[in-house]
Amino acid sequence: MQGARFWGTRGSLPVALGAAGVRAKLIAALRNANGRTFDSDGDLRAYLDALPFEISGTFGGNTACVELLTGGTEYVICDCGSGLRSFGQATLARHGAALPQTYHVFVSHVHWDHIMGLPFFGPAYIPGNRVVFYGGHRNLEAALRRQMEAPSFPVRFDVFGASIEFVHLSPDTAHDVAGMRVTLKRQHHTGDSYGYRFEKNGRTIVYSTDSEHKLTEPNERPAFADFFRDADLVIFDAMYSLAEATSIKADWGHSSNIVGVELCQLAHVRELCLFHHEPALDDAALAKVLAETRRFEEITRGDTALRVSAAYDGLEILL
Partner 1 sequence: MQFESRHIGNVAVAAPAGRLDHSVSEAFEQSLLPLAGDPNTRALVVDFSGVDYISSVCLRVLMLAAKALRARKGRIAAVSLQPIVAEIFAISRFDSVFEMFPSLPYALGALSPGSAPAQGTPAAPNNA
Write out the residues near partner 1 by the rule CB under 8 A.
215-216, 221, 241-244, 246-247, 256-259, 262, 292-293, 295-296, 299-300
Q: Where are the beta strands (DSSP E) in 108-156?
A: 130-135
Closest CB to partner 1 among 167 and 243? 243
Least distance in angstroms from the C-beta of 165 to partner 1: 40
Backbone angles phi, psi at 144, to 5 degrees: -70, -35
Least distance in angstroms from the C-beta of 201 to partner 1: 34
Closest CB to partner 1 among 139 and 300? 300
Closest CB to partner 1 among 6 and 240? 240
How far is residue 310's CA from residue 277's CA, in Å, rounded to a whole number?
Answer: 9
Residues 26/55, Cβ–Cβ less than 8 Å: no
How far is residue 183's CA from residue 170's CA, in Å, rounded to a whole number?
Answer: 9
Closest CB to partner 1 among 192 and 292? 292
Closest CB to partner 1 among 153 and 296? 296
Closest CB to partner 1 among 176 and 303? 303
Q: How far is CA 259 from the centre of its chain?
A: 18
Angle at 173 between CA 171 and CA 178, to 5 degrees: 100
How far is residue 193's CA from residue 210's CA, in Å, rounded to a whole number?
Answer: 7
How far is residue 68's CA from residue 2's CA, in Å, rounded to a whole number?
Answer: 8
Backbone angles phi, psi at 284, to 5 degrees: -65, -40
Closest CB to partner 1 among 43 and 217? 217
43 torsion bin: left (phi>0), alpha (psi -120 to 50), beta (else): alpha
Residues 105/134, Cβ–Cβ less than 8 Å: yes
Closest CB to partner 1 among 90 and 266? 266
How far is residue 160's CA from residue 171's CA, in Å, rounded to a whole number?
Answer: 29
Instruction: Single out the residue of 91, 154, 153, 151 nearest to residue 126, CA to CA.
Output: 91
How far is residue 184's CA from residue 176's CA, in Å, rounded to a whole number?
Answer: 12
Least distance in angstroms from the C-beta of 291 to partner 1: 10
How far is residue 318's CA from residue 69's CA, in Å, rounded to a whole number?
Answer: 8
Least distance in angstroms from the C-beta of 213 to partner 1: 8
Reported as type and span, the H/E element at residue 91 is helix 83-95
Closest CB to partner 1 among 130 and 249? 249
Q: Which residues pair with 307 in a beta bridge?
A: 271
How far is residue 9's CA from residue 80's CA, in Å, rounded to a whole number?
Answer: 11
